[in-house]
């Protein structure tokens, strides 16, 4: 049985949530393997809108197991609120269909405070534009071996020792930033309270998933963010604090890399980015405004306006290679309806030299200007198209050109936010 990894192949918000929800019909288990509630995934099912941040996007479908893997950083207070919100929309969430890895690090209130204090203290040009949700500081604590993990909630003495270890680091740091010291007793009490709500979901996820795999169950690994926000391969330091590329799926849940049969990259038919950092094809003109308006490009998590630009094939070719993407899901094709001419970045000009990838050095990235190829647009509507036959000839040409330039085939096409406005070309779960 095939297991599929879904990753964003640009700067996030490619439409991963919609596609994971759509694909989850074919899966038994849906497992988030990194990121936290910095993610915002919007699902639209028969007109009903679900906004997910920490919960896997398969949770809305009944009869599936949803898993939060150890590669995630988890804000337990946020999760409980999100569960309540989604339950109020009629979705059943119980320890039978949601499991949280016991070795998942917890985002504490102090992480969010540190994240926001650093952003506020940063001068213009050095801000990252984070979501302010404590993601970076929590991953720092994980790697610094001072995180509090889900399993620590079960034993009072361990929990207290873990809190002391964390505060030994955080209190001096807070002093330097002018934030008051953490109230140790208050934090322990808060954790002891939330423990009662979180622990019923805690499980040895690595074991459960290995057993599922042996039993021939299909696993869908759900990534958050996008490859250009990857801590190693993204536009550093304007990135998130985790590995988001497909290689992370295995370590993020505790399963061997050989269990992954297919990597599906989610790719928007143009480019967006929220937060600071380089964006070679960014449009600050009417075309950019039009993409943002037609695509409703406002962040699901922070409500910030997303920056918009033309499709960057050079970047997507690069991220397809880094994640070993077997096929892409091209989303939001309908947003391009009505443009006279479309531009695609095929390479960069760096000091007069043609470069077919984005260089790593920040100064070189800044000097890269896109080399564009122009294509005729289409005036017909593709919104809601459910088969190739419904697409205008120029839209098909655009999709075909994207495939050639990124050197990767299109497996799925998405033409509206609705679950079923999706065209299947190749089934990623096919053996």
Rounded distance between C-alpha atoms, residue 322 and residue 319, angstroms: 5
CB 7 within 8 A of CB 245: yes
What three-state secondary structure class fits 135?
Answer: helix
Query: Of these residues, 37, 64, 111, 142, which one is catalytic?
Result: 142
Binding site for ligand IMO (CB under 6 A): 8, 11-13, 38-41, 128-131, 133, 135-136, 224-226, 229, 240-241, 274-275
CB nearer to ligand IMO: pick between 129 and 324 = 129
What three-state secondary structure class fits 204?
Answer: coil
For residue 275, state whether it binds ligand GDP (rule: CB under 6 A): no
**Interface pick for ligand GDP out of 10, 16, 262, 317 (rule CB under 6 A):** 16
CB nearer to Mg ion: pick between 175 and 304 = 304
Rounded distance between C-alpha atoms, residue 180 and residue 409, angstroms: 54
CB nearer to ligand GDP: pick between 195 and 274 = 274
CB 345 within 8 A of CB 371: yes
Query: Of these residues, 37, 41, 212, 268, which one is catalytic?
Result: 41
What three-state secondary structure class fits 347?
Answer: strand
Q: Which stretch binds ligand GDP (CB under 6 A): 40-48, 187-195, 200-208, 389-397?
A: 40-48
**Token couple for 356:** 């077919």
Catalytic annotation present for 13: yes
Let me know if 374 is exposed, middle or buried by CB neighbors in 10 A (0-12, 13-18, 19+): exposed
User: Residue 424: in which H helix or E strand, if any?
Assistant: strand 422-424
CB nearer to ligand GDP: pick between 17 and 277 = 17
Query: Of these residues, 13, 75, 141, 421, which one is catalytic?
Result: 13
**Interface pick for Mg ion out of 6, 10, 13, 97 (rule CB under 5 A):** 13
Rounded distance between C-alpha atoms, residue 310 and residue 272, angstroms: 9
> Binding-site residues for substrate, please?
300-306
Crossing angle of helices 156-177 and 109-121, rounded to 10°: 10
> Binding-site residues for Mg(2+), please?
13, 40
**Token couple for 352:** 């007069």
- Residues in contact with 17: Cβ distance below 8 Å, sequence separation at least 6, in sequence order: 41, 42, 43, 52, 57
User: Which of ligand IMO, Mg ion, ligand GDP, none has residue 18 at its interface (CB below 5 to 8 Å by kind)?
Assistant: ligand GDP
User: Which of ligand GDP, Mg ion, ligand IMO, none has residue 416 at its interface (CB below 5 to 8 Å by kind)?
Assistant: ligand GDP
User: Which of ligand IMO, ligand GDP, Mg ion, none has residue 241 at its interface (CB below 5 to 8 Å by kind)?
Assistant: ligand IMO
> Binding-site residues for GTP, please?
12-18, 40-42, 306, 332-334, 414-416
CB nearer to Mg ion: pick between 40 and 280 = 40
291 to each of 256, 287, 297, 339, 409, how far by Cα in Å?
40, 6, 8, 10, 24
CB nearer to ligand GDP: pick between 105 and 265 = 265
**Interface pick for ligand GDP out of 36, 223, 265, 417 (rule CB under 6 A):** 417
Rounded distance between C-alpha atoms, residue 319 and residue 14, angstroms: 13
For residue 40, state whether it binds Mg ion (rule: CB under 5 A): yes
| Matching residue, tokens 């009505």 | 338
Catalytic annotation present for 142: yes
What three-state secondary structure class fits 130?
Answer: coil
The torsion defined by the Cα of 288, 294, 295 and 298, in degrees rounded to 10, comes to 80
For residue 134, state whether it binds Mg ion (rule: CB under 5 A): no
Q: Phi/psi at 41 (nearest 5 deg)?
A: -120, 120
For residue 36, state whether it binds Mg ion (rule: CB under 5 A): no
For residue 402, state whether it binds ligand GDP (rule: CB under 6 A): no
User: Which of ligand GDP, Mg ion, ligand IMO, none has residue 240 at its interface (CB below 5 to 8 Å by kind)?
Assistant: ligand IMO
For residue 335, state whether it binds ligand GDP (rule: CB under 6 A): yes
Binding residues for Mg ion, rule: CB under 5 A, are 13, 40, 300
Binding residues for ligand GDP, rule: CB under 6 A, are 8, 12-18, 40-42, 44, 300, 331-332, 334-335, 414-417
Q: Supply the residues annotated as catalytic.
A: 13, 41, 142
């Amino acid at each position: 049985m095939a297991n599929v990894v879904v990753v964003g192949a640009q700067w996030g918000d490619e439409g991963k949530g919609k596609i994971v929800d759509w694909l989850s019909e074919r899966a038994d288990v849906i497992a988030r393997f990194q990121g936290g509630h910095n993610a915002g995934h919007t699902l639209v099912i028969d007109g009903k809108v679900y906004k997910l941040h920490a919960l896997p996007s398969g949770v809305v479908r009944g009869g599936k197991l949803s898993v939060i893997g150890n590669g995630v950083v988890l804000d337990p207070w946020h999760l409980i609120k999100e569960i309540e919100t989604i339950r109020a929309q009629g979705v059943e969430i119980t320890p039978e269909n949601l499991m949280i890895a016991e070795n998942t690090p917890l985002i504490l209130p102090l992480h969010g405070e540190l994240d926001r204090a650093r952003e506020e203290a940063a001068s213009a040009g050095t801000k990252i534009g984070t979501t302010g949700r404590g993601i970076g500081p929590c991953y720092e604590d994980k790697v610094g071996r001072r995180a509090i993990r889900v399993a620590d909630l079960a034993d009072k003495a361990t929990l207290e020792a873990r809190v002391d270890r964390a505060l030994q680091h955080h209190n001096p740091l807070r002093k330097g930033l002018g934030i008051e010291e953490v109230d140790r007793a208050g934090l322990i009490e808060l954790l002891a309270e939330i423990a009662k709500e979180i622990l019923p979901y805690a499980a040895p996820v690595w074991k459960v998933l290995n057993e599922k795999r042996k039993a021939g169950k299909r696993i869908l690994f759900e990534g958050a963010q996008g490859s250009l926000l990857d801590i190693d391969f993204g536009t550093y330091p304007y990135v998130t604090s985790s590995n988001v590329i497909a290689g992370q799926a295995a370590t993020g849940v505790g399963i061997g890399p050989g269990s992954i049969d297919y990597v599906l990259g989610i790719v928007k038919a143009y480019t967006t980015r929220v937060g600071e950092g380089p964006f070679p094809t960014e449009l600050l003109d009417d075309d950019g405004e039009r993409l943002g308006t037609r695509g409703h490009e406002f962040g699901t998590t922070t409500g910030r306006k997303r920056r918009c630009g033309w499709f960057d094939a050079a970047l997507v070719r690069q991220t397809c290679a880094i994640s070993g993407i077997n096929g892409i899901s091209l989303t939001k094709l309908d947003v391009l309806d009505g443009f006279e001419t479309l531009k695609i970045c095929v390479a960069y000009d760096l000091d007069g030299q043609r470069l077919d990838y984005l260089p790593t050095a920040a100064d070189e990235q800044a000097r890269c200007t896109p080399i564009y190829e122009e294509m005729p647009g289409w005036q017909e509507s593709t919104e809601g198209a459910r088969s190739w036959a419904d697409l205008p000839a120029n839209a098909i040409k655009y999709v075909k050109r994207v495939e050639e330039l990124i050197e990767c085939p299109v497996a799925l096409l998405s033409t509206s936010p609705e679950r079923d406005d999706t065209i299947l070309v190749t089934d990623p779960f096919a053996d």
